[in-house]
């Protein structure tokens, strides 16, 4: 749980549906994301991030606001004032009101995965809070170091970092290995990864779920 103690007039921007509770003197306003060409069409079609975000304002005095992520995992704060970040679909939880959130179109580099077309860029001034499925692991890459990360485990990386998305190997490896798309990230920079993979978890649970037929 992410808890804010807001003073009079302070604001927090949060992903749609993230609120756990708030004091009554905190107002909520729902609005579309700022900037990003074709953002509304792309995000609603691909389902990574919701098109709308909520801004909470302590308009009638101080109060508490509690937010939670959509899955069981860590929450981490990142200062994006000096360094913008690219976030994987679903990682954004909340931010300072002055942080700009824009979708990043990857074109055909993500054509094999419905969740890799849209990634969210967060830039300052301010901080963002990201949530994960499982624990968040940080890895600092040195200059020229290349790390291949399964896209389902990627949480965030600097917007200045070079990257490319591709199959893990040939078609045989892609189909039989259980691995899908990977993102090659080139250092320097710090990347954030999550220890759990949501599609794999869903697949593991499927045999135990009731048959709807």
In a domain, 211, yes or no: no
Check: CB of residue 153 under 8 Å from CB of residue 167. Answer: no
192-203 confidence digits (pLDDT tens) = 999 998 888 888
In a domain, 150, yes or no: yes
Q: Going residue by residue through the chain, which has 213 residues, state the pLDDT in tens, using 9 for 90 and above.
A: 999 999 999 999 999 899 999 999 999 998 876 544 444 444 444 434 566 789 999 999 999 999 999 999 999 999 999 999 998 878 999 999 999 887 655 543 443 444 444 678 899 899 999 999 999 999 999 999 999 998 889 999 999 999 888 777 554 444 444 456 788 999 999 999 999 988 888 888 889 988 766
Query: What's residue 107's pLDDT?
Result: 41
pTM of the model: 0.82
In a domain, 202, yes or no: no
Query: How many residues does this entry show for the chain?
Result: 213
In a domain, 213, yes or no: no
- Report the alpha-carbon angle 119-105-67, nearest 5: 25
Query: What's residue 118's pLDDT?
Result: 62
Phi then psi dihedrals of residue 133, to 5 deg: -105, 105
CATH number at residue 87: 3.60.160.10
In a domain, 210, yes or no: no
DSSP string, 22-65: E-TT-EEEEEEPP--TTHHHHHHHH-SS-SEEEEEE-TTS-EEE
79-115 confidence digits (pLDDT tens) = 999 999 998 878 999 999 999 887 655 543 443 444 4
Rounded Cα distance, 194 and 209, in Å: 25
* Closest alpha carbon to 187 in 132, 149, 151, 134: 149
Q: How many domains does the chain have?
A: 1
In a domain, 187, yes or no: yes
In a domain, 178, yes or no: yes
Query: What's residue 209's pLDDT?
Result: 87
H-state helical runs in the chain: 39-46, 171-176, 198-205
Domain coverage including residue 32: 2-194
């Amino acid at each position: 749980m992410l808890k804010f103690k807001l003073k009079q007039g302070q604001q927090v921007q949060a992903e749609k549906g993230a609120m756990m509770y708030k004091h009554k003197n905190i107002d909520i306003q729902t609005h579309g994301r700022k900037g990003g060409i074709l953002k509304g069409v792309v995000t609603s079609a691909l389902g990574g991030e919701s098109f709308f975000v909520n801004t909470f304002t302590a308009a009638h005095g101080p109060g508490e606001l509690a937010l939670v992520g959509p899955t069981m995992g860590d929450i981490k704060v990142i200062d994006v004032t000096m360094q913008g970040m690219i976030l994987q679909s679903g990682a954004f939880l909340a931010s300072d009101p002055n942080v700009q959130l824009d979708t990043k179109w990857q074109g055909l580099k993500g054509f094999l995965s419905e969740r890799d077309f849209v990634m969210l860029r967060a830039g300052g001034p301010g901080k963002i809070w990201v949530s994960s499925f499982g624990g968040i692991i940080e890895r600092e890459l040195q200059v020229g170091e290349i790390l291949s990360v399964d896209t389902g485990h990627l949480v965030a990386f600097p917007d200045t970092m070079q990257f490319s998305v591709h199959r893990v190997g040939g078609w045989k490896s892609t189909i039989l290995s259980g691995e899908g798309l990977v993102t090659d990230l080139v250092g320097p920079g710090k990347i954030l990864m999550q220890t759990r993979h949501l599609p794999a978890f869903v697949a593991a649970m499927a045999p135990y779920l009731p048959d709807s037929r």
